[in-house]
Amino acid sequence: MAHLKTPSTVRRGLAGLALLATLAWPALAAAQDRFIVMASTTSTEQSGLFKQLLPAFKQATGIDVRVVAVGTGQALDTGRRGDADVVFVHDVAAEQKFVSEGFATERRDVMYNDFVLIGPKADPAGVKGRDIAAALKKLSVTAQPVVSRGDKSGTHAAELRLWKAAGIDLATARPAGYKECGCGMGPALNMASSLNGYVLADRGTWLSFKNRGELVVLVEGDKSLFNQYGVMVVNPARFPHVKADLARQFADWVVSSAGQAAIASYKIDGEQLFFPNAAP
Amino acid sequence: MNDLVQGLSSAARLLLGADSDLWSVVALSIRVSGTACLVGAAIGLSAGAWLAIARFPGQALVVGLLNTLLALPSVVVGLVVYLLLSRAGPLGALGILFTPTAMVIAQSILVVPLVAALSRRLVLLALADGGDQLRSLGAGPFTTALLLLLHERFGVLTVLLTAFGRAIAEVGAVMIVGGNIDGVTRVMTTTIALETSKGDLPLALALGVVLLAVVALLNALIGLLQWRSAAPREALA
Amino acid sequence: MKAPARQTLISLHGANVRFGATPALSGVTMDLRRGDRLMLVGANASGKTTLIRLLHGLLQPVVAGSVQTHVLVPEGTAPRGAMVFQRPFLLNLSVRWNVLLGLWLHGVPQAERESRCRQALQRVGLASLAGRRARELSGGQQQRLALARAWALQPDILFLDEPTASLDPGAKREVEALIQDFAADGVTLVMSTHNLGQAKRLGSRVAYLEAGTLVVDRAVDDFFSGDDLPDPARQFLRGELPWHT
């Protein structure tokens, strides 16, 4: 007895289902409105700056900025892959390398904020003051928990520079309680909070951080704690698809008096977080 | 404990407060995971049905591989899809990295092995009951498998619900391929991760409760459907 | 006066069927002729079901020996078969859809599907239950639905594997009546049964199987008269009497 093959209706039904799944996605078609992708850092986004800055930019130019917030290392890598149009991070040395490798034609100063040394109110290691090198020397000989981001971010790079500047070689003279979490600023603060330990943080994330426990700011104001931000347009010569024109509008705006004013006006609890310092 | 209590009360306030940001995040989560489920259903059910009836050398190997893929970590899927869709990667020209479409693709990949493995089981069991009789009626092997899926449609619905749960609850894949862009690719799970890392634990908990509520609602709807169709009717003479 | 010779539909020559190491049929040789009402009797595991499935084409490939299907004369097409099983597998759909499914699988065009479905359901007396879920029907009704499903396909041969074994006496009678009805229409029957009374009532020809071999194959009257039956068959007849269901 002959048996029949799969009826054509079945085959048509399957094709219809697949088509339906793709048609249920109108977003693909709407992808042509004006937007750029900006790779930036988690600490910048978590400070809340973008929620004020980007709407101002959109109002001035009609351009949407889509922020992918990751660690500095990953943000630069995103730029190197051509997956972003603008890179906005805070690690001058790494940015200069980025430019020298040809992924951007220039970097421009935009603003700075500062790092602060956070620790338990009781301060068992006695680091309170305005001298970060002295504070780090004291920490290196205690067994108090010291949390490090350990994630190759701008903050992590700054932390490593500060230890070096204080004359401490982490490879040989690591503090007994030193813990690297390989994580972002928020999780590092969370860890310090639960361990009642010390951690270097950017002021922005600290001001927005809600899980403080007994932590307070212990060291601030030292010039070496300043954290410089730079903006770079990803090089269209390298990646033709980059929206260079729109990206340049952003870079130009953020260093213009309008952008700089928007940065300065951003405050948390009345405190200014970022200090514009673009070249005039 | 305080955080938990705060979280619950925040959750209640969020749900009743009709916060438009929250609802757009919820809507995106449902859209992304729902679409991934549909795609996963189309591919997974066909694959599962085919694997249940196919006979070819190395079949046991394929089924073993499928079962291994059930435990695919979502971050790994996210990483692989990211590498494929990045401009530096083979499919970069599509330009869909950091969009909801990329998230759908990643979650579909997560969901297909699940649907295929479970639907294959469903079909195998049903084949034992009715495979012969459907063949006697003139159905080819693949049609038989599909008919049995139709026959076992509530089992299939449970499988799809499981798949939806896996998709909507994962954070590793969507975080990497979507970039957690505010207003564009931010979904419930990535928002929970973000708020947790910011230290805003009550809000994170509240969002977690909302996520559970969404899945629970879906579960309840399916349960209702099953109950209605299984309702006893008068016995026939 | 002998009736004119009827056309052979299927010929088996020394057919052997093996499941793994177990032989299910050994050296079966027989012809199925058009209009036969062939009853297969024998103990459990005697090979009745295997033989029916072999004739219907559900066993592929044939292990050894030959199975030959002959083209219908005068129609010129291969004989179409349909089968009714002891426990019918009905899809979790309505009564109507279960019949329509078979018609759809056979490529019957839309308009004709509806009318043939209606007719089939009327014939078996289930027209009023067409919208019900098939799984809600009683055992007897489900078997009648299975018959409707098979009959709607307008088969030339109807295979039945112990169709009434799981039914209560009332349902049994209804189903038997329908089977006789179909036979009267000219459908060739191949049916296995445990019930010798049923074999006598419905059959024109009886074949007795034991351990996979076809021991006896005779006209129904010759079989039940018991004259020079081989010993195993004679013992079987005696052992099975009186005629319990």
In this prediction the ipTM stands at 0.88
Report the C-alpha gap between B213 and B11 in whole angstroms: 10
Share of chain A above pLDDT 90, in %: 63
Share of chain A above pLDDT 70, in %: 89
Residue spans of beta strands (DSSP E) within A204-263: 215-219, 226-233
**Does the pLDDT of residue C9 top 60, yes or no?**
yes
Per DSSP, what are the bridge partners of residue C64? C16
Computed over every residue of chain B, the mean pLDDT equals: 90
Q: What is the mean pLDDT of residues C7-34?
A: 88
Residues 1-20 of A with CB under 8 A from B: 3-7, 10, 14, 17-18, 20
Kindly report, residue by residue over A101-114, the tens digit of the pLDDT: 999 999 999 999 89
Residue B66 Cα, gap to closest chain C Cα (Å): 29
Residue A64, both tokens: 């949407």
Report the C-alpha gap between A273 and C4 in whole angstroms: 109
Instruction: Choose between C40 and C23: higher pLDDT.
Output: C40
Decide: B32 and B187 in contact? Cβ < 8 Å. Answer: yes
> Residue A203's Cα: distance from chain center in Å?
13
pLDDT of residue A30: 45
Q: Backbone dihedral region of A276: left (phi > 0), alpha (psi from -120 to 50 degrees) or beta?
A: beta
Residue spans of beta strands (DSSP E) within C91-220: 157-161, 188-192, 205-210, 213-219
Question: Closest to A27 (Cβ–Cβ): which among B99, B197, B200?
Answer: B99
**Does the pLDDT of residue A1 top 80, yes or no?**
no
Q: Is A29 on the interface with B (CB under 8 A)?
A: no
pLDDT of residue B225: 76
Q: Which range, of B13-17, B38-42, B143-147, C130-134, averages the lowest pLDDT?
A: B13-17
pLDDT of residue A11: 60
Q: Is B184 on the interface with A (CB under 8 A)?
A: yes
Q: Do A4 and C105 touch (CB under 8 A)?
A: yes
Interface test with A, best of B75, B108, B197 (most A CBs within 10 A): B197
Q: What is the mean pLDDT of residues A84-92?
A: 94
Nearest CA in chain A to C104: A7
Q: Which residues contact A138 (CB under 8 A, 6 or more apart)?
A: A125, A126, A127
How many residues are recorded in chain B?
237
Q: Where residue B22 falls among pLDDT bands split at 50, 70, 90?
A: confident
Q: Where residue A175 falls among pLDDT bands split at 50, 70, 90?
A: confident
Q: Which residues contact C160 (CB under 8 A, 6 or more apart)?
A: C52, C83, C84, C179, C189, C190, C191, C192
CA separation, residue C144 to residues C114, C120, C136, C176 (Å)? 18, 10, 13, 10
Residue spans of beta strands (DSSP E) within A100-253: 108-120, 146-148, 178-180, 198-202, 215-219, 226-233
Q: What is the mean pLDDT of residues A32-58?
A: 90
pLDDT of residue B203: 82
Computed over every residue of chain C, the mean pLDDT equals: 89
pLDDT of residue A28: 44
Report the C-alpha gap between B32 and B169 in whole angstroms: 12
Q: Do C106 and A4 touch (CB under 8 A)?
A: yes
Report the C-alpha gap between A141 and A127 in whole angstroms: 12
Q: Which residues contact A44 (CB under 8 A, 6 or more apart)?
A: A50, A69, A88, A89, A90, A204, A229
HEC string of C94-109? Answer: EHHHHHHHHHHHCCCC
Decide: A128 and A134 in contact? Cβ < 8 Å. Answer: no
Nearest CA in chain A to C106: A4
Q: Where residue C240 falls among pLDDT bands split at 50, 70, 90?
A: low
Report chain B residues touching chain C, CB-CB < 8 A: 129-130, 132-139, 143, 147, 150-153, 233, 236-237
Report the C-alpha gap between B105 and B43 in whole angstroms: 12
Report the C-alpha gap between A144 and A177 in whole angstroms: 5
Residues 50-69 of A with CB under 8 A from B: 50-51, 66-69
Q: Is C137 on the interface with B (CB under 8 A)?
A: yes
Computed over every residue of chain A, the mean pLDDT equals: 87
